[in-house]
Amino acid sequence: MKEVNLIPDDPSSAECIKQLEQEIKILRQLHHPNIVQYYGSETVGDHLYIYMEYVHPGSISKFMREHCGAMTESVVRNFTRHILSGLAYLHSNKPIHRDIKGANLLVNKSGIVKLADFGLAKINI
């Protein structure tokens, strides 16, 4: 879940809301095993909640830190296959992620990698 504090009449908050609305619009359209699943969103008072799939234990960045940067070739191959599969699906549906990095690539306990954080994504027309 992503929680955002909404501040009325604040230009930076308005820009943040616009970016989050774009992220929600994109996530709503995407259904693929290598993309974090979007479940819904709601505004309660001055908070926006975005509900998404929980991917544990976390990011590839975290995985690298915990394993001292060491990964076997088979793990790298598996991660790469999942990332490319998610990107191929994403691009076939027109969005471009624009922020692929270890912190935005989540890996679950089964070793499945999922693309996350579509805050900078744009629809490619």
- The one catalytic residue in 9, 10, 46, 99 is 99
Element (H, E) at 23: helix 11-29
With H, G, I as helix, E, B as strand and everything else as coil, classify residue 57.
Answer: strand
Question: Is position 99 annotated as part of the catalytic site?
Answer: yes
Sheet holding 38-44, edge to edge: 2-5, 47-52, 38-44
Q: What is the DSSP letter of 104?
A: G
Q: What is the DSSP letter of 6?
A: -
Element (H, E) at 60: helix 60-66
Which residues are part of the catalytic machinery?
99
